Amino acid sequence: MQRPSEIASAGGKLGVLMPGMGAVATTTIAGTMLARRGLGEPVGSLTQNATIRLGKRTDERTPRIRDFVPLAGLDQLVFGGWDIFPDNALEAAKHARVLEDRHLEPIKSELEAVVPMKGVFYPEYVKRLHGTHVKTGATKAEMVEQLREDIRRFMKDNGCDRAVAVWCGSTEIYFPPSDVHASIQTFEEGLLANDPGISNSQLYAWACLKEGVPYANGAPNLSVDFPAAQELARERCVPIAGKDFKTGQTLMKTIIAPGLKARMLGIEGWFSTNILGNRDGEVLEDPDSFKSKEVSKLGVLDYVLQPDKHPKLYGNLYHVVRINYYPPRGDAKEGWDNIDLFGWLGYPMQLKLDFLCRDSILAAPIVLDLALLLDLASRAKLSGIQEWLSFYFKSPMTAPSLYPEHDLFIQLMKLKNTLRWMMGEGVITHLGHEYYD
């Protein structure tokens, strides 16, 4: 891949379109509105807080990422999206019960003005929901056309120069890619024939790619993770990324597992269980939707620990992930991990982790960063899978011949090195021999 010769200006308005305007989307929107009025801090966002070292350790060049790469500012963002319920962003945020009134009151009218467009909803892909605010159309191809019109109208009405999309909709049932997903041609034939292999989220993704709108997938379903979408993304020069935001338990897993592996400590068992009571939890009660999540969550340890290379340490690892819907907790999820590990001569030890986290509070900065970084990638003319954004995902998309990199610290190094590379700075290898020459 060639280094971008130039990056187009970040000026103008950037539309941030979210299919699915529930807990995560409204927490992102409200948080951004508060941050730009100076009424809240965008904690957890790399684009807003992180710094990046440039050159040698002795050079003392450590700007903020947002001062180093040309990113759209928070004031330039215009939020919109689709949902299968008609609630505006204020109503949806109240329903989600993530943010308190003290945070919603000051931006009440701004939130009320964010009204979802009608969603595309074939209910067989999310069985627990019964949406009423939905489009009608004879074929899936027609639905894609309606979504494309929505995008064009939204951009025109809001004076947007560019747009990006982040899927924040419910997790769809699990199914692997089939023949219909193989190429642009088979997929377009499938759209006309209402092929059952094409899910709702894939219709949004297709519409966005056709409109040249970069697309990130925050859920574990395949949305944009199939050959036809990747072919279209390259053909239209659109960056894509996914899948499944890395927030609570998996974030911790990709922090702790690389540490235990670095010390070559063995692991015999890792039992992960969660209780959560938001709508996401309700959808995940359906075994078919849970299957998508389970596949996404289970893959992590295999790739981090490489049991094939270290069979004595990780060859017999028993890894279980459970999620239980428990309404009293709302969005304040609790994730427990019990890790059975062993050390010198095989002596056993245990590590218990109890993360009382907040799902949408952890997801919102990821949505913001993905929107800003995908827009940057698009202006730098990067297209197809953006593996350097793996940092944000539980189940990162990669080129077909590559295994995904799950170690959070390798992912962060890759992200920062990509930014250095884009801007013509030297990448940092941490070799550091020059300090001792």
Hey, what are 183's tokens?
Answer: 């190429």
Measured distance between the N- and C-terminal CA atoms of the chain, rounded to whole angstroms: 33
Helical packing angle, 408-422 and 249-262, nearest 10°: 100
Residues 194-213 touching ligand NAD, rule: CB under 6 A, are 200
Q: How far is the CB of 287 from ligand NAD (least distance, A)?
A: 15
Nearer to ligand NAD, 223 or 230 (CB): 223
Residues 362-381 touching ligand NAD, rule: CB under 6 A, are 362-363
Tell me the three state secondary structure of residue 134.
strand
In this chain, which of 119, 242, 335, 365 binds ligand NAD, going by CB under 6 A?
119
In this chain, which of 247, 272, 383, 390 binds ligand NAD, going by CB under 6 A?
247
In this chain, which of 68, 79, 121, 290 binds ligand NAD, going by CB under 6 A?
121
Residue whose C-alpha is closest to residue 213's, from 27, 375, 10:
375
Report if residue 84 touches ligand NAD, rule: CB under 6 A: yes
Q: Are 256 and 339 a contacting pair, CB within 8 Å?
A: yes
Of the candidate spans 67-75, 80-88, 180-188, 340-348, the one that interacts with ligand NAD by CB under 6 A turns out to be 80-88
What is the 8-class DSSP label of residue 190?
H
Task: Give the C-alpha separation, 245 to 225, whole Å.
Answer: 14
In this chain, which of 15, 31, 42, 169 binds ligand NAD, going by CB under 6 A?
169
In this chain, which of 15, 71, 83, 294 binds ligand NAD, going by CB under 6 A?
83
Report if residue 244 touches ligand NAD, rule: CB under 6 A: yes
Q: How far is the CB of 21 from ligand NAD (least distance, A)?
A: 6
Residue whose C-alpha is closest to residue 279's, from 320, 321, 333:
333
In this chain, which of 126, 164, 241, 332 binds ligand NAD, going by CB under 6 A?
126
Report if residue 80 touches ligand NAD, rule: CB under 6 A: no
Tell me the three state secondary structure of residue 278.
coil
In this chain, which of 65, 69, 168, 233 binds ligand NAD, going by CB under 6 A?
168
**318-325, strands of its sheet edge to edge:** 318-325, 266-276, 334-342, 348-356
In this chain, which of 120, 216, 260, 415 binds ligand NAD, going by CB under 6 A?
120
Report if residue 359 touches ligand NAD, rule: CB under 6 A: yes
Task: Give the C-alpha separation, 133 to 410, whole Å.
Answer: 42
Q: How many residues bind ligand NAD (CB under 6 A)?
A: 35
Report if residue 20 touches ligand NAD, rule: CB under 6 A: yes
Nearer to ligand NAD, 278 or 378 (CB): 278
Task: Give the C-alpha separation, 354 to 89, whole Å.
Answer: 32
**Cis check: omega of the bond before 108, within 30 degrees of 0:** no
Q: Please give the distance of CA 47 from its chain centroid, rounded to a whole number.
A: 15
Report if residue 278 touches ligand NAD, rule: CB under 6 A: yes
Q: Are 25 and 88 a contacting pair, CB within 8 Å?
A: no
Task: Give the C-alpha separation, 411 to 296, whole Å.
Answer: 17
Q: Which residues of this protein are in contact with ligand NAD, per CB under 6 A?
A: 19-24, 82-85, 96, 119-121, 126, 129, 131, 168-171, 200, 218-219, 244-245, 247-248, 278-280, 359-360, 362-363
